[in-house]
Chains A and B, each alone.
Chain A
Amino acid sequence: MTHRIDQTFAARKAKGQAAFVAYMMAGDPDRTVSQAFLNALPEAGVDIIELGMPFTDPMADGPVIENAGIRARESGTTLTSILEMAAEFRKTNDTTPIIVMGYANPLHHMGYAKFTAAAKAAGVDGAIIVDLPPEEDSELRTAFETHDLALIRLATPTTDAERLPKVVAGTKGFVYYVSMTGITGASFAQAGSVTEQVTRVRAASNLPVVVGFGVKTPERAREVAKDADGVVVGTAIVKTLHEDGPDAALALIRTLAEAVHTPRGG
C-alpha cells in the first residue's frame, strides 16, 4: 500500500530525519533464519524493508547479492515462499512497508496479474523490478495500480534532464535514485556528490527521494541522509549476515539506522 510508505516518510520528515531502508535477500541462508531476521528489522531501526527476490541472472548485482541469491534458491526460495514470509511478518507488524526487489522473469512467469494479487494479499506495499524500465513496465504498473501497490522506478546518473520527468511521472511511493553507474556492492564513486543529484530529482518530482547503491558505512549513511529522504543499505547487510550471522547484522543495522536518523537540524 502506498499509504504505509507515505506515512513512513511523513513520520520521519516530521522529526527532521531521513528514513532508513534496508535490503535483505529473502530465504538467505534459509527460510527460518531469514524470517526471524526480517521480523527483527523494524525494532533495529529499519523504516522500510526491501525484500530481495533471487534470480539466476542478476545482471545489476555484484557478487555479494548474487551469491545470497544462490543460497536463497538452494534453500528453496520461490516467489510464493517470499510472499509467505511477508504475510508472516504482517501478522505482527502493520506499519513497516515491504518493497520486494528483483528481476522481471519470475513475475512474468507467474503472470503479472496473479503476482500482483498475491503480493497484495501478503501485505506487500510495492516493488522495484530492476529490468523493467519505463519503456517496459506498463503491464505490471497497470496491475499494481488496480491494487494500490507502488511500482517504484529507478533514476540513475545516466537519466538525463529530458528523460527524468518521464521516469518519475510513472513512479509511486518514492523515487529510488541509484547514486552511481554500476552494480550493487561497488564502492561509492565520488563521496559527497549526492546533493546535486538529489536536488535534480526533487526538481522533477514531489515524491520522497531515496538514495541507494554504494552506501556501506554509518559515516556515508549519515552524509547521504543530509540530502536524501531515505538511504538504502544492501550489500553491507547481506555480507555481514552471511559472514558473521544475524546478531552482527542487526548490530550493524542499529548503527546504520542511528546514523541515518541523525536529525538534519532543518
Chain B
Amino acid sequence: MDNPTETNTAFPDENGRFGEFGGRYVAETLMPPILELEKAYEEAKADPTFQEELDYFLTHYVGRPSPLYFAERLTEDTGGAKIYFKRDELNHTGAHKINNCMGQLLLAKRMGKKRIIAETGAGQHGVATATVAARLGMECIVYMGAVDIVRQKPNVFRMRLLGAEVRAVHSGTATLKDAMNEALRDWVTNVGDTFYCIGTVAGPHPYPAMVRDFQAVIGREAKQQILEAEGRLPDAAVACIGGGSNAMGLFHEFVPHKEVRLIGVEAAGKGVKSGLHAASLTGGTPGILHGNRTYLLQDEHGQIADAHSISAGLDYPGIGPEHSYLHDIGRAEYVSATDDEALHWFQTCARLEGILPALEPSHALPRTVDLAKELGKDGLIIMNMCGRGDKDVFTIADALGEHISEGTEG
C-alpha cells in the first residue's frame, strides 16, 4: 500500500474504539478531563509548532534517530534471516519510554498542567517521566508497586535523584496494575491541576492512540533505515509486549504493509500452561480494566488474575486495545517467551553483540531467532531493542545465583 497514513489512522473511531476494543471505562469524575485531554491532543497534533518543539527535544535531548543496527554475530550464530535491532535502548534514560513522555509532558505544558503523575513497573517509564519533568520544571509523582520497588532498585534511586517522589503501592499484587490503580485514584482526587502520563498504549481513550502516535517515531525511522540499508521492507517486525507501547511504536508504520509480519512477544513467565504468566492475548479473554476493553488475565468470576514475569515491565494482566484488535483481525501474531528463555537470550545477546538488553526485549530475542531460522537466509527481521539491561542486573544476578552488592547503583 502506498499511502500508509490512510488505513493506520482510521483507528480508533470517535469513541476511542479499535473494533470492539478500547473505549473510556472510567469514573464520571474522569470523563471531563479525558475529553479535555483528547481535545488538547487533537489541537496539538494539528499544530506545527508543537511538532517542531517535540522534534527538537527528540533530536537534541532524547538522541533520535536511534540506529538500526545489523546484529551480525547473532545472525551468524542463528544461521538464518538477517536480524536488525532498532536500538531504542540508546535513547536518553535507556528505553523507548521517553519518546512518549516527551510528547505527553510537552502536551501537559501546553495545557498548563504542572503536576505530573505516572505509574511504573520496571521503573523505565517512571525514570523517563521524572527526567522530562525535571527538564520542563514540573512536579513529578511516580506510583510504583512495592514488589517492583525491590526488583528495580536502581531505577527507584534514579527517579529520586531526578527530583521525583516515588510512592510505594502495597495494595493488590503490589505491581504495575496496582500502581496504575493508585495513579488513577490520585488523578480522580487532583483532577484540576494534574496530568496523568500513562506509560503504555493502555488506559482510556485517548491514551492508547496518543501513546502509539508518540511511539510511532520508532517505526517511521526503522522503515526509512531498512530501506536505506537493504532496499526493501522487512519480512517481519518483532517486539516484546507489556502494555504494548514499544510494539505499537514499531508496528504502526508497517500495519498497512501487509507483507510485513507483525509479531508481538508476551511474557510466558514460568510457562503459559503453569498459569504463572503475563500473556494476556495468548492466555486471556476480553474484559474491562483500567479504562478500556481488551484481553485480560482473569478468573471465571471476572476478577483480574495476577500476572507473573521475571520482567517487571511485562508483568501486567492486560494489553493495549489496539493489539487486541490486530490480534482478532489477524493482522499481527502474538507469541510468548518464558522467564528462562529471556534469561538465556539476555546472556547470549550480551556475549555475541556486546549489548545488555533489558529483560523486556530479552523476551523478543528467542522468537526473533526462531523466526530467523524459519525464514532462512533471504529473510529480513527488525527487532525492537527497546531498553537496556542496566536496571536488571540485580534481578539477573539473583536468577543466576550470584551475589552482587545492592548498595551501589547500576
A residues within 8 Å of B by Cβ? Answer: 54-60, 62-63, 66, 73, 78-79, 103-110, 130-136, 153-160, 163, 167, 178, 181-183, 186
Give 22 CB contacts A-B under 8 Å: A57-B304, A59-B184, A63-B171, A103-B288, A105-B298, A106-B302, A109-B285, A109-B298, A109-B302, A131-B26, A131-B27, A131-B288, A133-B28, A135-B23, A154-B28, A154-B29, A155-B28, A158-B32, A159-B28, A160-B32, A167-B28, A181-B189
Residues of B with C-beta under 8 A to A54: 303
Contact of A136 among B23, B189, B285, B302 (CB under 8 A): B23
- A108 contacts which of B181, B288, B290, B291 (Cβ < 8 Å)? B288
Contacts of B288 in A (CB 8 A): 103-105, 108, 131
- Distance in Å from the Cβ of B347 to the closest Cβ of chain A? 35
Known: A59-B290, A183-B188. A105 touches B304 (CB 8 A): yes
Are A109 and B24 in contact (CB-based, < 8 A)? no
Is B289's beta carbon under 8 Å from chain A?
Answer: yes
Give a binary string over B1-44; 1 marks a CB under 8 Å from any A CB, 0 the rest.
Answer: 00000000000000100000001111111111100000000000
B33 partner residues in chain A, CB cutoff 8 A: 158
> A158-B32, A183-B188 known; A107 and B302 CB under 8 Å?
yes
**A-contacting residues of B (Cβ < 8 Å)?**
15, 23-33, 171-172, 177-178, 181, 184-185, 188-192, 285, 287-291, 293, 296, 298, 300-304
* 8 Å CB contact of B302 from A62, A108, A163, A181: A108
Given A60-B27, A181-B191, output 16 extra A-B contacts at Cβ < 8 Å.
Answer: A56-B304, A79-B301, A105-B288, A109-B298, A131-B27, A133-B26, A134-B31, A135-B23, A135-B24, A136-B23, A156-B27, A158-B30, A158-B191, A178-B29, A182-B188, A183-B185
Chain B residues positioned under 8 Å from A160 (CB to CB): 32
Contacts of A62 in B (CB 8 A): 185
Docked Cα-Cα span, A147 to B293, in Å, equals: 25
In the bound complex, do residue B188 and residue A60 qualify as a contact, i.e. CB atoms below 8 Å apart? yes
Given A131-B26, A154-B28, A178-B29, the answer on whether A59 and B181 have CB atoms closer than 8 Å is yes
Q: A131-B25, A133-B27, A183-B188 are in contact. Are A105 and B32 (CB under 8 A)?
A: no
Chain A: minimal CB distance from B331 (Å): 25
Give the distance in Å from the alpha carbon of A182 to the alpha carbon of B192 in the complex. 11
Q: Which 10 A-B pairs have the closest CB atoms?
A: A109-B302, A106-B302, A56-B304, A156-B29, A182-B189, A154-B28, A59-B184, A158-B32, A131-B25, A104-B288
Given contacts A66-B171, A106-B301, A108-B288, contact A132 B25 (CB under 8 A): yes
**Residue numbers in B under 8 Å from A59 (CB-CB):** 27, 181, 184-185, 188, 290
- Let me know if A135 and B181 touch, CB within 8 A: no
CA distance A54 to B190 in the complex (A): 25
Q: In the assembled complex, which residues on chain B have CB atoms less than 8 Å from the CB atom of A136?
A: 23-25
B303 & A73 in contact (Cβ 8 Å cutoff): yes
Q: How far is the CA of A153 from the CA of B31 in the complex (A)?
A: 13
Q: Which residues of A contact B29 (CB under 8 A)?
A: 60, 154, 156-158, 178, 181
| Chain A residue with the shortest CB-CB distance to B205 | A135
> Out of A105, A130, A155, which one reaches B289, CB within 8 Å?
A105
Question: Are the C-beta atoms of B188 and A57 separated by less than 8 Å?
Answer: no
Question: What are the residues of chain A within 8 A of B285 when measuring CB–CB?
Answer: 109
Docked-complex contact A163 and B31, CB < 8 angstroms:
yes
A57 near B302: Cβ-Cβ < 8 Å: no
CB neighbours of A107 from chain B (8 A)? 302
CA–CA, A134 and B26, complex, Å: 10
Whether B287 lies near A108 (C-beta < 8 A) is: yes
Most buried by A among B15, B172, B188: B188
Q: Is the CB of A110 within 8 A of B290?
A: no
CB-based contact B301/A58 at 8 Å: no
For the complex formed, measure the closest distance between the CB of A238 and the CB atoms of chain B, giving whole angstroms. 16
Chain A residues with CB under 8 Å of B184's CB are 59
The residue on A at minimum CB distance from B28 is A154
| Chain B nearest CB, measured from A146 CB (Å) | 22
List of B residues within 8 angstroms of A60 by Cβ:
27, 29, 185, 188
Which of A56, A78, A109 meets B172, CB within 8 Å? A56
Give B156 Cβ to nearest chain A Cβ, in Å: 22
Give CA–CA (A58, B304) in the complex, Å.
Answer: 11
Q: Are A57 and B191 in contact (CB under 8 A)?
A: no
Q: Which residues of A sit under 8 angstroms from B24, Cβ to Cβ?
A: 133, 135-136
Q: Chain A's nearest CB lies how many Å from the CB of B101? A: 22
Min C-beta distance of A190 to chain B, whole Å: 14
Neighbouring B residues of A159 by C-beta, 8 Å: 28, 31-32
In angstroms, Cα B31 to Cα A156, docked, is 10
| B27 cross-chain contacts in A, Cβ below 8 A | 59-60, 130-131, 133, 154, 156
Residues from chain A with a CB closer than 8 A to the CB of B181 are 57-59
A132 to nearest B CB, angstroms?
A: 7
Contacting residues, chain B, for A158 (C-beta < 8 A): 28-33, 191
A110 to B29, CA, bound (A): 26
CB-CB under 8 A for A55 and B303, given A105-B289, A159-B28: yes
Nearest A residue to B184, CB-CB = A59
State which of B15, B188, B287 has its C-beta within 8 Å of the C-beta of A181: B188
- Cα(A135)–Cα(B34), bound, Å: 12
Complexed CA–CA distance, A158 and B178 (Å): 25
**Chain B neighbourhood of A63, CB < 8 A:** 171
Most chain A beta-carbon contacts within 10 A, residue among B189, B288, B296 = B288
In the assembled complex, the CB of B277 is this many whole angstroms from the nearest CB of chain A, namely 17
Residue contact B301 to A109, C-beta cutoff 8 Å: yes
**Which residues of the other chain, B, contact A132 by a CB distance below 8 angstroms?**
25
Q: Is the CB of A163 within 8 A of B303?
A: no
- Chain A residues in 8 Å Cβ range of B291: 131
